[in-house]
């Protein structure tokens, strides 16, 4: 599989994601985390938060919107993709009521053993422009014939 290395540096339009208490609760349930900070507004405010907060990996939800843009433009399907690594650096917790904007940048494109490695950076910000989270990832894209088998 060959992807043009000159695609590196491409910045995709910001994608919006609205965070609600319900989405946070569903995510916490899905990962099996019963922390009341993810469910109970009173518990959250007692700990100094404005509302319930999300588990740190909740940031993957707005990040996936950027991934969707990127793989669609590249003509890749998720059947071809192996998520090699992911890192989140939070400036503050994601909280209920956040209106997030995620800007995705394709930082690198390189070939490795017949596959392509994509280096991706996502900047998650509040609607006000306040930085919320910086995420980086590496995706391995297998050739189409490898994804079919």
Is residue 108 situated within a structural domain?
Answer: yes
Average pLDDT over residues 28-50: 97
Query: Listing from the earlier edge strand, what are the strands of the sheet with 115-126?
Result: 15-18, 99-112, 115-126, 131-141, 81-90
Mean pLDDT (the chain) is 94
Q: For residues 121 and 41, what is the distance between their CA atoms, to the nearest angstrom?
A: 32
Domain count, the chain: 1
Query: Could you tell me the residue range of the domain that residue 140 belongs to?
Result: 5-20+53-148
pLDDT band at 3 (very low <50, low <70, confident <90, very high): confident
Is residue 45 situated within a structural domain?
Answer: no
Residues 6+ apart with CB under 8 A from 13: 69, 103
The encoded tokens of residue 122 equal 């996502």
pLDDT band at 144 (very low <50, low <70, confident <90, very high): confident
Whether the per-residue pLDDT at 148 is higher than 60: the answer is no
Query: Which pLDDT belongs to residue 2?
Result: 67
Query: Which pLDDT belongs to residue 146?
Result: 57
Whole-Å CA distances, 33 to 11, 27, 39, 40, 124: 34, 9, 10, 13, 23
CATH number of the domain encompassing residue 104? 3.10.129.10
Is residue 104 situated within a structural domain?
Answer: yes
Is residue 116 situated within a structural domain?
Answer: yes
Is residue 114 situated within a structural domain?
Answer: yes
Q: What is the pLDDT of residues 94-114, one digit of tens each?
A: 999 999 999 999 999 999 899
pLDDT band at 145 (very low <50, low <70, confident <90, very high): confident
Is residue 29 situated within a structural domain?
Answer: no
């Amino acid at each position: 599989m060959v992807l043009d290395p000159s695609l590196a540096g491409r910045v995709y339009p910001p994608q919006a994601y609205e965070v609600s208490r319900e989405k946070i609760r569903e995510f916490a349930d899905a990962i099996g985390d019963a922390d009341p900070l993810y469910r109970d507004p009173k518990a959250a405010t007692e700990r100094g938060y404005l509302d319930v907060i999300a588990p740190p990996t909740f940031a993957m939800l707005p990040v996936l919107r950027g991934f969707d843009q990127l793989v669609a433009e590249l003509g890749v399907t998720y059947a071809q993709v192996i998520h090699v690594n992911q890192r989140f650096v939070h400036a503050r917790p994601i909280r209920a009521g956040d209106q997030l904007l995620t800007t995705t940048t394709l930082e690198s494109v390189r070939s490795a053993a017949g596959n392509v490695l994509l280096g991706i950076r996502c900047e998650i910000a509040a609607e006000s422009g306040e930085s919320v989270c910086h995420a980086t990832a590496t995706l391995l894209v297998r050739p189409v014939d490898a994804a079919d088998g």
